[in-house]
Amino acid sequence: MPTSSDSGILLSPSIIASDLSTMGRDVSAFDPLAFDLLHLDVMDGNFVPNLTFGPGYIKSLKAHTAIPLDVHLMIESPELSVERYLELAPWCVTIHYESTKFPSRLLQLIRRSGVRAGLSVNPATPLEAIFDLCSECDLVLVMSVDPGFYGQPFMPASLDRIRRLREFLDGRPGGAATLIQVDGGISIKNIASVAAAGARVVVAGNAVFGAGDPNRAAFELKKAAQKG
């Protein structure tokens, strides 16, 4: 299981940028040395305008791969269904700060289930809003696009948000272990800067699946990240 002390980044390719209808077969060809995690974007057509898949699909997919699952819940009131995802024993379950009135209770529930607890923050939400919740998190996801779709351009202001968050976490007792994840518009051109800013888990949709060979694209992204 990857940890924050491993060298380099953890790449988490987002399968919504691929063909979901053939993923059960395709997933077996993904090289676990390049695909550290599989990023699963759960969208409900309410918290975000797009609709993807739920726990049933993820359960079926899990039967075909040993790559740890990185579940990103873009759903309203995740407290109503989070248990369905926890049952699947993923690597992490990430909820959105903006999606619930009870983020703290939810993060505690996720942790008690033995799953890493992630908290995501949209570009329009002041970073300070989540500072008091960081001690309940194993991972903070800094969104670098408005959530909902793959293939959107990276918002450059995210770099400063990652830097400020890393600085805040490193200044707190135990905070150095909290992982920062970045999601949205990551490419071969900007991956080194997000890594240098302090992102350790990097999501990539279009940059992995938009080219011909996902394994090759994933290895190239990981290589480019080390130049930061």
Please tell me whether residue 41 binds Zn ion under the rule CB under 5 A.
yes
Residue ranges in contact with ligand DX5 by CB under 6 A: 14, 16-17, 39, 41, 72, 145, 147-152, 183-186, 203-207
Least distance in angstroms from the C-beta of 112 to ligand DX5: 25
152 binds, among ligand DX5, Zn ion, none (CB under 5 to 8 A by kind): ligand DX5
* Residue 141 phi, psi dihedral angles, 5° rounding: -100, 115
The sign of the CA dihedral 28, 184, 166, 78 is negative
What's the closest the beta carbon of residue 122 comes to ligand DX5, in angstroms? 10
Nearer Cβ to ligand DX5 (207/224)? 207
Annotated catalytic residue, options 36, 70, 138, 183: 183
Measured distance CA(157)–CA(91) in Å, rounded: 28
Looking at beta carbons only, is 70 or 138 nearer to ligand DX5? Answer: 70
List C-alpha distances in Å: 209 to 30, 36, 149: 11, 15, 14
Q: How many whole angstroms separate alpha carbon 202 and alpha carbon 215?
A: 15
Instruction: Verify binding: residue 44, Zn ion, rule CB under 5 A.
Output: no
What stretches of 66-223 adopt beta strand conformation (E)?
Answer: 69-74, 92-96, 116-121, 139-143, 179-183, 201-204
Pairwise CA distance, residues 171 & 59, whole Å = 38
User: Which residue is catalytic, options 41, 44, 70, 138?
Assistant: 41
CB closest to ligand DX5, residue no: 205
Q: Is 41 a catalytic residue?
A: yes
Contact with Zn ion (CB under 5 A): which of 72, 161, 166, 222? 72
User: Where in the sequence numbering do the catalytic residues fall?
Assistant: 41, 183
